[in-house]
Structure formats: structure tokens, C-alpha cells
Amino acid sequence: MSLRLLFARAAFTCALVASVSAFALPALADQKPFPDGAPPAGKSSGDKDKKDAKSATPESGFGEWSKVTKDATRKDGMFPAWTKREVIYWEIKQDRLGKPFLMNAHFARGIGTAYTLGGLPILDGMVQFERNGDRIFLVAPTTSIVASSGDSAYRRAVDLSFGSSALQVFKIESEKDSTVLIDMAPMFASDCLDLTTRLKGSTDKGFRFDKERSAVTAHKAFPRNMEVEALLTFSPNDRENLDFGPLPDSRYVPITVHYSFLELPESPMAPRLADDRAGYFTNAYKDMSRDGKPDYWVRYINRWRLEKKDPTAAVSEPKQPIVFYLDNTIPAEWKPYVKAGIEEWQKSFEKAGFKNAIIAKDVPTDDPDWDAEDARYTTIRWIVSHEPSFGAIGPSQTDPRTGEILNADILMEGNMIVGYSNNWRRWAAPDVIDQAMNLPTQAWLKDVTDPSRLCMAGIGHATESEFLSTALALNGVTPPGEPAPKEFVGAGLKAVTMHEVGHTLGLRHNFKSSTDVPRELLQDKAWVAQNGLVGSIMDYDTPNVSSDPTRQGYYWSPTVGTYDDWVIRYGYTPTSATTVEDDYKLVTPIAREATADGHLYGTDEDTYPADALDPRCNIYDLGSSPLAFSKDRVAYVQNLWNTPNLEGKLMKEGDSYVALRRAMDSMLLQYARGLSHARKYVGGQYAHKVMKGDPGETGPFTHVSPAEQKEAMDFLAQRAFSADAMVVPATLLDKIGKDQQWDWGNNLFAYGRQDYPFLSRVLAIQVGAMNGITEPSLLTRLREQESRVGAGAFRLQDVFARLTGAICGELGVAGSVPAAGAAKYATLDRPNTRRGLQRAYVDRLSEMVVNPSPAAPEDAPALARLHLTRISDACQRGLGPAGPGSDTVRAHLMELRARARRALEAQRDVPGALRPNPIAGGTAATAR
């Protein structure tokens, strides 16, 4: 698909970031092929013949030029324009027909909610005008499939197989001197972007476009680009339970859209081939004329055009640096941190041979022609939202022919500064644990147009900042009830800026990089100042809070990392090559440094999917051992919530008890994230992005040792599944308050219980960990490992035995590995989550038996059946005369036995044989 509308679903819009480029590479043209086989932009030769034949329409059939343009104001620009009242005529010269240019659209003003926020992108891609008789078509050409060979047979084959999409059709109003006039206003003041569908995706409500309340509000012409704004109004078909917060009247939803049209460079930049060892966004296409090659794919990295002023110098200033303008929407107190975050990248570019390659400037106040909407300027802007959505994003526009980044605009949500005080609302139900942990769900990853471009660095930073504020107060660094000092917030803001700027330089996430930093050096300020807290600022870092206040280093990474220096060298080091292939040969030695210390790389697809296997690929961890970090962070959080006089350290007189709710939520979130890192060790493999012959390479995969897997399981048994895993003083829980202020932004009927649902949240964390351990793809990997590792392997049966022992150890289940100190039945009579966790575990095993996943090995449902049988037998024994005397415990044992038996007696795959189980996130068998 050539032109991409970025509205796959609201979740994608919420998290979109980095380079947004809808076009892999342009279609064929009649002109000479681009050097090195890269296809130039334009139309196919077949289309050209049709264009020439149809451009001879007599001028007399249209309105007289002088009459049509009477009383209109003319503006020179990329397309000379005539404007009067509600009409916007563009002059389209014949030599512009079939010549591609970029078109993108974003929200200029949103509604502060429903992922409709000022600055978020809507559409991005390459288009061109074509003439068909008396009409002009705005066409998105086919760009994903091309034929760059000089052999016209390949081109004809592609031309025969793939067509272009006509996005809009315009009537020719007048024609003179091989130039036509078309009225663009009807397109701008319409729902040509299909925002009704986007609104429905984010609200589950149908909308209709209101043409009478829509109009073009601004039109600007610049030498290389055209900028247009339009106020569009949408009305919901059903307003029941539709909450748009601060919107004045929800009957009329006002959305201002900004369109940009940008010329492609006359002289395309020399492209650089992508290498999967170095993490760049790419423009990719299939060249169907690559016969004899391993495949048809060609991929160019996204990067800015940097050329040395002095090509002979080892380090030279560029002819044209990358300039970021600090928009006047950024509060003055935060500008120094944003500026520092931009220019910190100068360090990396110097290693690629450029001095002052990237600089930050204030918006000029003495230049009347400067305009933030002018696509020639790259900006960082500040926005606010009613409901936080992404924190920060860094979309950019690229030349589809070469991957050259032409423009970028970073958006920062000001809500980051306060740490999203209402983050507790994301914990409204136990089944939202993944969202609370800021992990994309599998549904997201399937539905979004391009999951690799998701970014949650900003919103993650907000929740991490909330934890940092809590830790600082409980450690006595900040006074009770006071916000974190400006320097702490500024340091975090600088780190987020570095991250988003990295995206606009073409870089993808690197979630493995934290393990490049030796654990023992995390608090070494001198070392971290030089190398960073993470190997790449493109990681998601967590506050570096030391359990020993006397050895406290940087809380946030103060600089870009060692991987960043290396990957910028790969992407930006100039070469003397005259072909793409020769250029790649010259930079390949840089790519082969992937095995060097400080160059670890693992990105989104290595981290988020259910089958992600490398325990080093995590978000929100620090140091060379994620398992060691997990142990430290979980133990630290437990110490925090048992801090003497916790209330007095967090609150001053007159503060709302909601402060305790925010603090407890932030601590539980950190606890849950700590557990999530350990899970990947089970059935895990260390993945290496290497090619044969790289220095020291050992192949793509090595297994996590059985000892490490057992260590991780033991840790989870103790810290996730034991009866005393998460115990908080009852006196503290009774003091956790709720926001009692009723207003349009705080519906007190919407959030259920008024007291703090601690046990529900603990159970959600435990069930999330249990579901992760029993993920079908993880079980499949374990089964594979048994055949590869041989004697001593951590086996599939070991996982079931340890899970059953950790969760149901006090039942006396045969063949299980009970956690240390599991007293028979005693834990089941306590007011904790033990009974709920056991029921959830039985439901999970039942699901495996009755509806086994095709992705799981057949041994999994067989082992689940065995353990259900053992649990049922243990419950039967417990119900005998020597069993527990408590009615609660006996009722619980009867329920476990009944659930297990229903599953054991049920037939597989019988419709209606399962009932929903919202706690376990799965199903359990029902009686037939």
C-alpha cells in the first residue's frame, strides 16, 4: 500500500513515534534510472503516453483565466496559488504532471483526548498530479514494487501488475500556457482523510462529517512547500457515554488538520543500504529486476543529508547542519534541558566525522517570514492533553527514493512534568496489567500498521518519574509533599529529548542496550557521564535509584551511549563511493563491530511479542544482568513500602491522601515490571545480530543456561507466587485515599470501589506473571531446548512442577516442587490472594486441557492434565477428616476440585464448553 493513513486503531495513534514514512520507494519513471539501481520517482512509461495524449484538451472548454482569477490574491510558491473567499486555486504546470512530491497531514489542533491531539500525524506519503481529460487526479503511485533494470520488459511487467490509487479528483477551472488551475479547497475542507473512521476507532462511536461547519482557515505558500489548515467538524451519531472532557459541545467535534506538501530534492541524496546489525528505520521496496540476487528486497536507512565543508578533514563542520528550532510553546524554564538533549548528539556525530552537526536554536523573533509550519524548519513543540497519550513523539518525513530525512517535528506532552498524577486509573481492573506496565498487547502488535514505530518513552518516563518522586521522598532527599526538584525533572526531560531526537535521526529502539553497562558501574558518576546509564539512549530507562543513598549516581542517563556513537558512525560516516554497493562495502567494517563491547542491539520485535526470547531485551531495566536488577528492584520496592513513618515522609499537613494512592501505585508498578524481566529467562535464548565471520561471533542464538532458568523460576516462586510475596502494612492501606473532587474530568461513579483495591492489584500482577510463564510459545521453546541441550536441561515438566509447587504447595500436590516454608493449609485461611491465585492457576491448566493452543507443544496439555489430576486428588484428601477445619478453606478445596474435574471430564473443542474467567485472562471448563 503506497499511501498510508495512520489510523489503524487508536492504540497505534497513541503510541506512534519515530520516522513516519508511508512509502517504501517510488515507482518507475521514464527518466534514466537513479544511480546504483535505486528507482527514481515518477510515472511509468505507459502512463506517460496517456498523459501526453490527454494534455491537448482545447483551452476554450474552461473558464477564461482572467475572469476565474479576478479579485484573487496570487502567492508564489511550490505551486503558485490564487486565493479569494473560500476558493484556493493552484497552478499546475504541465511539467509538474507526473512529478512526485510528499504529502502529509497532522492534527494542528485536536480535542485533548481520544488520541486526537495537536501534532499527531494522520497521513504521510508520496503523491503526484496526473491529467485525465478535463480533470486532474491526485494520485498515490505504486512504490513498493519496482523494476530498476534498464530492460524495459521488467518495467512493463510491473506496470501490468500494479496500479496507482486516485485520492482526489479536481475539475480544471481554467488553462493557459500549458498551466491549469484547480480548486483545492473542496479537498481540504472535506473528510478525505477518513477521520470518521479514526474517531470511531478511538471512541467506538460512529461520526458524520459536517460540511457546513468546516472550512479552510489558513493557506501558505513557500518555495519548497505548501501549508494548509482546515477546521473540520464531526458530529457523533450517538453521544451516550461519550466523554470528550473539556470539549465545549460534544455535538460538534472541532478538529483542525494541517496539510503539508513538500518538494523532493532535485538531486537525490546518495542512499545507504540497511544492515540489520545497526538499528535504523528504513525505506524498503521490492525490485523485481534483481534476478540472480538472494531476494528482491532493497532497503535504505533513514538519515539526514550531511556533507562535509572540508571533505579532506577528519572532522569537519557540515555544509548544512541539522537545526532544531525550540518552539515558543516550550516553557522557558525547560528550554535549557531540551536544548541540551538535542546537542548531546554532537558527541556521536564527531565520531562520524562531523563537528556541530546538530544544533538547537530559538525561534527567530526578527524574521517575519519564519514560520513553524514551513516544512523547511525542524521544530520541537510542547502540547498539552486532557488524557495523556504518548508523552513524546518524533515523526519525520523522508524521501522515498533514498531514505533522506527532509523534515522532523518532535512533540512533547507537558503532562510529563507532573508525572501523570492520575496514572492509577489505568489499574481499574485486574485484566489491564499489561497496559499498566506499558507493554503493547498482542492485539496492538497485530493491528497497527507498523509496530516498529511505536514509542512509549515519554509516557513511560512519566510513570517512572512518579516512582522517582516517591523514592526521593521516602529516602529523605525531598521534603514531604513537595514535588521533585527542578534539576531532577530537567535531567529526565533531557533524556526524553535525546531519545526522541534519536528517532528523528533515523534510529530505532534498542532495548538490549541496558545490559551493556556493568552493574557495578551504575553509580559511578565519572563512568556514566562518559558512557551513559544505558548503552543506547534509544532504550527505555528507569530511574537509577540506589538502595544505598551514600552511593547515588545519576538518576537519568546524562548522555547518549556507546551504541549510539557506533550506530551514528554506520549511518553518517561519509565515503568516497560512487555506487550504493561500493558504499556498503566501505561501511561494512563498521557494521562488523556489532560484536564489540557496548554495541548490543535488540529492538521492538525482539522485546514485545509473546515469543520474544532474549532476556536481555527489556524495557525499564538497568545493568548487565536483568535478573539481578529484578531482584534488586523488587527488594528495594518492598523496603520502600515498609518504610517507617511512610505517611509522614510523603505528605505534609493539608495534603490529600490521594498522594498515598499515587505512591502505592507507582511502587506496585515497579514491582510488576521487576517480575516481568525474570520471566524471559525461562525457555530463553540469547539472540545475537551477527553475520558469519564477524569478530568473535558464535552464531545467532545461545541457550540460557538451565541454572539461570531455575534461578529465575525460584525468584518468581518467592516474589510473585508465595503467600507473602507482596505484604503491605494494613495501617497504610487504610489511609490510601481517593480523589473526592467531582468535576467534568473526574466522574466519581466511574472507578468502582472507594477504598484501595490492593488484593485485586496484587492478584493481577501474580496472574500476569503466571500467564507469562505458561505462554504457548515459551512452552514450545522449552520443548525444543530439551532436545538440544540434552542431559540437565530445564524441561517443560520442571516448569509445571515448580509452578504447581509455588502456587499450590500447601495442598500437598504429588510431584510438585513446593516453595520453601509452605505450611499446609495455613496460608489459605489468611486474607490474601492465595485462594484467588490457585483458582486462576486451575483455570489456566483447564484452558490448556480443554482448548489447547495450536502454538503450544502437545506435551503442555498432557502435563496440564496430569497436574489438574494431582491438584484434584490433593483437594480430595484435604476434604477428609484430617483436613482443614475452616469453612473458607474447605469451600475453596471443593471449588478447586470441582473446577479441575470439569476440565478433566470435558471434551476438547466443544462449543460452549468454556466460560469466561476475567481474573485469569482465560477460560475454564464448564459442566456438560
Average pLDDT, whole number, for the chain?
85
pLDDT (0 to 100) of residue 369: 78
Q: For residue 917, which of 842, 812, 816, 849 has the smallest C-alpha distance?
A: 842
What is the percent of the chain where pLDDT is above 90? 61
pLDDT in tens, 634-646: 999 999 999 999 9
Residues sharing a CB contact under 8 Å with residue 55, sequence separation 6 or more, in sequence order: 94, 97, 131, 178
DSSP state of 34: P
pLDDT (0 to 100) of residue 762: 93
CA–CA distance, 422 with 419 (Å, rounded to integer): 9
738 CB-contact burial (10 Å; exposed 0-12 / middle 13-18 / buried 19+):
middle
Residue 583 has pLDDT above 90, yes or no: yes
pLDDT (0 to 100) of residue 744: 58
- Its sign, for the CA torsion 589, 590, 596, 600, is negative
Binned at pLDDT 50, 70 and 90, residue 457 comes out as: confident
pLDDT (0 to 100) of residue 592: 97
H helix or E strand, kind and range, residue 52: helix 45-54
pLDDT in tens, 615-663: 999 999 999 999 999 999 999 999 999 999 999 999 999 888 988 988 9
CA–CA distance, 550 with 533 (Å, rounded to integer): 18
Q: 265, 259 in Cβ contact below 8 A?
A: no
Q: What pTM was estimated for this model as a whole? A: 0.87
Binned at pLDDT 50, 70 and 90, residue 710 comes out as: very high
Residues sharing a CB contact under 8 Å with residue 620, sequence separation 6 or more, in sequence order: 438, 460, 464, 540, 541, 542, 673
Return the SS3 of 393.
Answer: strand
Residue holding cell 521496496?
285
Residue 253 has pLDDT above 60, yes or no: yes
Q: 675, 719 in Cβ contact below 8 A?
A: yes
What phi and psi values does residue 537 have, to the nearest 5 degrees? -70, -10
Strand 165-176 and strand 179-183: the pairing is: antiparallel
pLDDT in tens, 784-833: 999 899 889 999 999 999 999 999 999 999 888 876 555 678 888 888 89
State the cell numbers at 823. Answer: 505450611
* Helix axis angle, 834-850 to 758-773, nearest 10°: 30
pLDDT (0 to 100) of residue 158: 86
DSSP state of 556: S
Residue 27 has pLDDT above 60, yes or no: no
Mean pLDDT value of segment 110-123: 77
185-199, 296-310, 900-914, range with the lowest pLDDT? 900-914
Mean pLDDT value of segment 268-278: 96
Residue 169 has pLDDT above 90, yes or no: yes
Rg of the chain over all Cα atoms, to the nearest angstrom = 30
At position 356, the amino acid (one-letter code) is N
Binned at pLDDT 50, 70 and 90, residue 145 comes out as: confident
pLDDT in tens, 404-437: 999 888 878 776 665 433 343 344 333 444 444 5
Mean pLDDT value of segment 20-39: 36
Number of helices (H) and strands (E) in the chain: give both, helices first: 26, 25
Beta strand spans in 327-414 (E): 358-362, 378-383, 392-393, 396-398, 405-413
pLDDT (0 to 100) of residue 102: 94
- Its sign, for the CA torsion 381, 387, 392, 397, is negative
pLDDT in tens, 496-525: 999 999 999 999 999 999 999 999 999 999
At position 179, the amino acid (one-letter code) is T
pLDDT in tens, 876-922: 999 988 878 789 999 999 999 999 999 999 866 544 444 444 334 44
pLDDT (0 to 100) of residue 60: 53
Residue 455 has pLDDT above 90, yes or no: no
CA–CA distance, 564 with 595 (Å, rounded to integer): 14
264, 487, 581, 837 from 269: Cα distances, Å? 10, 41, 15, 59
CA–CA distance, 85 with 506 (Å, rounded to integer): 42
pLDDT (0 to 100) of residue 48: 44
Higher-pLDDT residue of 312, 815: 312
Burial 139-162 (b: 16+ CB within 10 A, else e): bbbbbbbbbbbeeeebbeebbeeb
Higher-pLDDT residue of 468, 863: 863
CA atoms in the 13 A half-sphere facing the CB of 413: 31
Return the SS3 of 627.
Answer: helix
CA–CA distance, 493 with 545 (Å, rounded to integer): 17
pLDDT (0 to 100) of residue 818: 78
Q: 875, 889 in Cβ contact below 8 A?
A: no
State the cell numbers at 377. Answer: 524548519
Residue 142 has pLDDT above 60, yes or no: yes
Strand 322-326 and strand 378-383: the pairing is: parallel
* Helix axis angle, 859-878 to 796-808, nearest 10°: 30
Q: 295, 284 in Cβ contact below 8 A?
A: no
